[in-house]
Structure 1
Amino acid sequence: MKNRLQGKNVIITGASGGIGAEMARLAARQGANLVLLARSVDKLQSLKTELEQSYKVSIIVRSLDVANTDAITDVFTEVMAEMGHVDILVNNAGFGVFRHAHEANLDEIKAMFEVNVIGLMACTSLVLLSMRRRGSGHIINIASQAGKIATPKSSVYSATKHAVLGYTNSLRMELREVGIFVTAVNPGPIATNFFEIADEQGTYVKNIKSFMLKPEYVAKQVVERMMTNTREINLPRWMNAGSVIYALFPRMFERIGRRAFNQK
């Protein structure tokens, strides 16, 4: 694993905290050079200082709001010129808001699609030609179990993650013959500040706290599979089993799981 990431160039969006920051720590430990992107440049600079004190790797940080496609073009063009090429792109930036469909306003809906879907696609498009020319690379899209199992109060967020999975699956088939790996990461709830926005009332976190994944664990599962031909990373496994049952028996699953689905 160390040899696999040694000297590789890795871009991580949403790298200022949560699994983004943890992936950065693990990748740097294995000798990867990093481009860390997020809106909070102060947090990125702090992470850069921490990693440079521990590892002999190159780290570039840039402030980036992936809802701004013009900014994505500018930042990616700049960092690609500086680092030469990218081996791994981790599309990690994203957010959600849990509301009933009739309560979601259009600005909120647009913002979730701009960040979770359009931003992800824009970042990917800017590394694809370079990867195709080199015949090597790995695109890792952080999706969600919400992209497989829709639940109440997640209509918009779930729609964005269904879109991410559709895009990822198509991309994988396009790139299969040119040596580029494409992986979808589908975690369940993770104990990060994601829920400070998504779950304003704290009800959902309170109800599922004992089931929440640790960001360090999720990051480890992703980094261990960098530059490997991994189709999906589904966490936890029991939740993914539920998505399989849902695909086969949707009506029964929705009826039996109604109480659990309404914990938001």
Structure 2
Amino acid sequence: MEKDSPSMKQCRSAFSRFYDLLSEWMFLARVAPLSTSHLFERHAMCSSDASMEGKTVIITGATSGIGLETAKELARRKARVILACRNVEKAKEVAQQISDETNQPVVVKKLVLDSLESVKEFCDEINESEERLDVLINNAGLINSSEEFTYTKDGFEACFQINHLSPVLLTLLLLDKLRKSAPSRIVNVSSDSHTIGDVSQLEAKARGKCTLRTPFAPYANSKLAMCLYTVALADKVKDTGVTVNSLHPGLVQTPIASHGSFIRRVLFHLLSHTKGKTPLQGAQTTIQVSVDPALETTTGEFFEECAPAAKRYRNPLLEDRALAEEVFGTSLRLVGFDPDRLLGTQS
């Protein structure tokens, strides 16, 4: 096979840059209306004052933003909070800060979500050392910082693994502990971007293929996958005392919205800092779903503003049980989890 000439390589490179730019603008045209649709609505606050005394909560990605505010509030309610974080030193500083403010001990455990092996090690430690687990909050999230995708050592596109596959494995490996602590809750922090996600050819997308080369596309795809997985898992554990729900925290002033192209950074900065939420406001729906006694049996729901979201803010695909089951099965296969083991946890 003949090698491309320098001029041909330049032509291919120019076309690739043009395609990436066009894709970014097309995607922004879909994202902008989505981001502005909630701007003039109220910022609901958690209406429950329920205590969490005697309960153990794990929160991923809790050293900043929504996760940090969630951890603070649950510690104030006397929960035993475990921060599951990549940067242990930073997490220890945060834990001390929370302890100083709430007079509650906060535990730090290392969890690297771009490594399935780290997820397994974390779960082994939790299952061995913790007597109970009442709430698991999958809060950590990632948006690609450029059109150049990064990949994990497991062979997956990093955003998709951190936002979906690793939380899937984390949840499944802790499910026995949650079931034995029932009534217990799994809370998946998602996004309204799930409404523009695409889960066709899911395995290819998980590996960074068959998807738009824009930073936001894998994020939206991963959030839709997690919402569909939530629906399927809720059906499978509905008789075990474990509930599973997902939520949109709102357009929040957090670092996760500061990545990508200059155009997108400016758009999100303007929207989030003019009409968006503070991290404390953004944490309210997570807190509501985690603590409200009235939601003890509510499962398979998608929440927004501390209540089940209106249909116009949900992807209609969330009603497709067959698709949810397909996403569930593919996700388990990709993380190497035997479905029979899931059934065994319900015996």
Contact 2:149 2:158 in 1 (8 A): no
Select between 152-161 and 213-222 the one with higher mean Cα deviation: 152-161
**Equivalence for 1:192:** 254
d(CA) in 1 for partners of 2:49, 2:130: 20
Shift of 1:95: 0.6
**Equivalence for 2:87:** 40
Shift of 1:111: 0.5
1:34-71 deviation line (CA, Å, top 9, x unaligned): 11011222221112112222334332102321111111
d(CA) in 2 for partners of 1:190, 1:240: 19
Report which of the two structures shows the higher radius of gyration computed on alpha carbons: 2
| Equivalent position SS for 1:170 | helix
Which residue of the other structure, out of 177, 181, 196, is the alignment partner of 1:149?
Answer: 196
Contact 1:16 1:38 in 2 (8 A): yes
d(CA) in 2 for partners of 1:121, 1:173: 15
d(CA) in 1 for partners of 2:261, 2:279: 18
What amino acid sits opposite 1:179 in the alignment? G
**Equivalence for 2:151:** 107
**Equivalence for 2:185:** 138
TM-score, normalised to structure 2, is 0.63
| Equivalent position SS for 1:197 | coil
What amino acid sits opposite 2:109 in the alignment? R
Can you give the 5+ residue segments of structure 1 that lack an aligned partner in the other structure? Answer: 249-264
- What is the CA RMSD across the aligned residues, in angstroms? 2.8
**Equivalence for 2:276:** 212
| Equivalent position SS for 1:107 | coil
**Equivalence for 1:251:** none
Identical pairs, percent = 23
What amino acid sits opposite 1:170 in the alignment? A
1:125 aligns with 2:172: yes
Which residue of the other structure, out of 220, 231, 247, is the alignment partner of 1:158?
Answer: 220
Contact 1:188 1:236 in 2 (8 A): no
**Equivalence for 2:324:** none
**Equivalence for 1:260:** none
| Equivalent position SS for 1:46 | helix
Contact 2:285 2:304 in 1 (8 A): no
1:178 aligns with 2:240: yes
Can you give the 5+ residue segments of structure 2 that lack an aligned partner in the other structure? Answer: 1-47, 199-211, 318-347
Contact 1:35 1:79 in 2 (8 A): no
Shift of 1:193: 0.8
